Structure 1
Amino acid sequence: MVAAFDGWNDACQSATNVIRHLVSKYRSLEVGHISRDGYYDYQTSRPMQCVIQGTRRILWPQTAFYDITVTDDLHLLTQLGPEPNYRWMDYVRETLHFAKQYDVSRIVMLGSMFAECPHTRDLPIEVSVDGVQSDPESEYNGPIGIPHIIDAMAIEEGFDTTSIWVSVPQYLGGNEPCPQATLELFQQLASVIGLKLNAQELEGKADQWRAHCDVMVRNNADLDGYVDQLEHDYDLKQHARTIASAGTPAVEQLVQEAEAYLRDLP
């Protein structure tokens, strides 16, 4: 099962757009939902009005589950909806009930968050498997959302779990979609599943997004300088990881390079 939620856990709609892409590109069938009653504050997650063939309809916030046929041998149960405002424990129990009904073996949670990272590099991805972070140095401490609660309770119920989070450049702000973040989540999901998924449309949108960001940065001198600094910090961290993995002599080299860098700071 793959799940993503609108709201606090979904910077620039990057995580939920993975589910929407899967629904649009593969044969999918809505197979159930979690009732809205008692879970939502309608001043926070407002109902939407739309007119369909001259008839007004009110669309209430709710969670939907889709059965997506990726191959003849692989189906994904996907969960998509707003993060609930109330009764999280009950909501998670309903979620895991659906997972058990469909004989789910692994639950994959998707999320995105704003961070200080440059758009000119691969966006940082953090992955945890069965609650264990792949990079101990990036272990998160702080407020959490419904994906973390589902992950923790799923582990207690005996499910295998994977959580995938992508960072979105904070300086972009706003709620405009970030196709690059969606693409990188999608690619990581494909790696977890062990299949090549159809990402061609996302790749094209990501190219356009990066080009748009390049223009925005070039037209703002302060932002250009800020991105240069983010690039430098990003490259230094990547270099540190490479050297640290090479052994003790290389670590000493890293210390010398870091000291030289600090001396050169204004």
Structure 2
Amino acid sequence: MRQKEKTKGATLICAFEGWNDASRAATNVIRHLVDVYDAQEIRSISSDSFYDYQVSRPMVCNVTGVPRIIWPETTFYDIAMPSGRHLYAQLAPEPNYRWMEYCQRSMRIAEELDVSRIITLGSMFAQVPHTRQLPLEETHLSERMNTALSAAADDADCSDDTHDGPAGITTILDIMASNEGLDSSALWVSVPQYLGTDECPQGTLQILRRLSLLTGLAFDEGQLPKKSAIWKAQASMLVSCNDELKDYVHHMEQNYDQEMQIRGLSDEIGKPEAEQLIKEAEEFLDRHNSF
């Protein structure tokens, strides 16, 4: 049964390595915050029974000549902000087993920390050009579920454009948090698939900036803007050396710009007409941007 909505408390941000973390754009948000602020490890979930060590392998670290085994582990941080506020963060490899138990443990730790809001972070590969702002999707599951419940009570049509399909650990955690009465949100950035698995500081920077708006905290961006500029310049150099790739990116730029223009006109021409134009733009992308 859904619990009563909690009073306003702390915020917990969560990111997981692996399927939910293309180019490490999501987990690097937490690593950045831990690096630039006074952060303390306050809780952990051990690797026992949650990981396949042939997938999430332990690491060997030599300290003063003595080898030390570092096992995959979930770490919770308390990040102290200059304003006096505290932000909690959960960082881990995506578990391989027992997701229900894992999320239940995460929720119990959130309860101990008096968390009332959970924000999960993710990144995915997509057909997007590096020369434009990377698409960033913000969803509020608790609001969506309340809308669906109200529509069901009124016997109304509550269909929308939400995705049905395979889910990562972030989605499971989002749903469980919302079912327990927490405010649950998700931020997902799309990163260029053609650039491979190298880090994407632009994606990290965009998540960080949106996270700042969601939490009302002015985050120190550190070296991220400079790293993003270098990332874009290196990507442009790579593209310039390959005519086929250059043409591929050019088509994506055209369709990106067209879609942005259509979205800008949506308020003027009405939602149904705008949706039809967006659909046509997406079909054009599918026809011309296979690489």
For the criterion TM > 0.5, the same-fold answer is yes
Distance in 2, Cα, partners of 1:69 & 1:212: 34
Which residue does the alignment assign to 2:266?
244
Verify: 1:89 aligned to 2:112, yes or no: no
Equivalence map 1:149-188=2 (5 Å) = 149-173=172-196, 175-188=197-210
Distance in 1, Cα, partners of 2:46 & 2:18: 18
Gaps of 5+ in 1: none
Which residue does the alignment assign to 1:123?
134
Contact 1:49 1:56 in 2 (8 A): yes
Which residue does the alignment assign to 1:33?
44
Deviation at 1:216, TM superposition (A): 0.4
Distance in 1, Cα, partners of 2:121 & 2:91: 11
Is the alpha carbon distance of 1:137 and 1:218 closer, same or farther for their aligned partners in structure 2, counting shifts above 3 Å?
farther
Secondary structure at 1:167 match in 2: strand
Query: For residue 156 of structure 1, what is the amino acid of its counterpart?
Result: N
Deviation at 1:115, TM superposition (A): 0.4
Contact 1:64 1:79 in 2 (8 A): yes
Give the number of aligned pairs: 257
Secondary structure at 1:210 match in 2: helix
Distance in 2, Cα, partners of 1:216 & 1:165: 26
Which residue does the alignment assign to 2:224?
202
Query: For residue 229 of structure 1, what is the amino acid of its counterpart?
Result: H
Which residue does the alignment assign to 2:125?
114
Secondary structure at 1:32 match in 2: strand
Q: Work out which of the residue numbers 69, 77, 94 in structure 2 matches 1:66.
A: 77
Distance in 1, Cα, partners of 2:160 & 2:191: 19
Deviation at 1:244, TM superposition (A): 1.2
Deviation at 1:140, TM superposition (A): 2.3
Verify: 1:214 aligned to 2:236, yes or no: yes
Query: For residue 211 of structure 1, what is the amino acid of its counterpart?
Result: A
1:180-224: CA deviation from partner (whole Å, max 9, x where unpaired): 000011111111011221113111100000000010001110000
Verify: 1:24 aligned to 2:47, yes or no: no
Q: Any runs of at least 4 consecutive aligned residues in structure 1 with deviations exceeding 4 A, and if so which?
A: 248-252
Deviation at 1:73, TM superposition (A): 3.4
Distance in 2, Cα, partners of 1:52 & 1:26: 25
* % identical aligned pairs: 44
Contact 2:36 2:222 in 1 (8 A): no
Which residue does the alignment assign to 2:162?
139
Contact 2:45 2:75 in 1 (8 A): yes
Query: For residue 36 of structure 1, what is the amino acid of its counterpart?
Result: S
Secondary structure at 1:200 match in 2: coil
Query: For residue 41 of structure 1, what is the amino acid of its counterpart?
Result: D
Distance in 1, Cα, partners of 2:271 & 2:207: 35
Distance in 1, Cα, partners of 2:141 & 2:272: 32
1:117-171: CA deviation from partner (whole Å, max 9, x where unpaired): 00000000011113539xx976323211000000000000010011000001011
Distance in 1, Cα, partners of 2:271 & 2:89: 47
Query: For residue 76 of structure 1, what is the amino acid of its counterpart?
Result: L
Distance in 1, Cα, partners of 2:214 & 2:262: 26
Is the alpha carbon distance of 1:222 and 1:19 closer, same or farther for their aligned partners in structure 2, counting shifts above 3 Å?
same
Contact 1:243 1:250 in 2 (8 A): no
Distance in 2, Cα, partners of 1:200 & 1:52: 29
What is the RMSD computed on CA atoms of the aligned residues? 2.3
Is the alpha carbon distance of 1:214 and 1:243 closer, same or farther for their aligned partners in structure 2, counting shifts above 3 Å?
same
Which residue does the alignment assign to 2:58?
47
Distance in 2, Cα, partners of 1:250 & 1:49: 57
Contact 1:5 1:16 in 2 (8 A): yes
Distance in 2, Cα, partners of 1:122 & 1:170: 15
Is the alpha carbon distance of 1:229 and 1:137 closer, same or farther for their aligned partners in structure 2, counting shifts above 3 Å?
farther
Query: For residue 203 of structure 2, what is the amino acid of its counterpart?
Result: A
Distance in 1, Cα, partners of 2:97 & 2:271: 53
Is the alpha carbon distance of 1:237 and 1:138 closer, same or farther for their aligned partners in structure 2, counting shifts above 3 Å?
farther
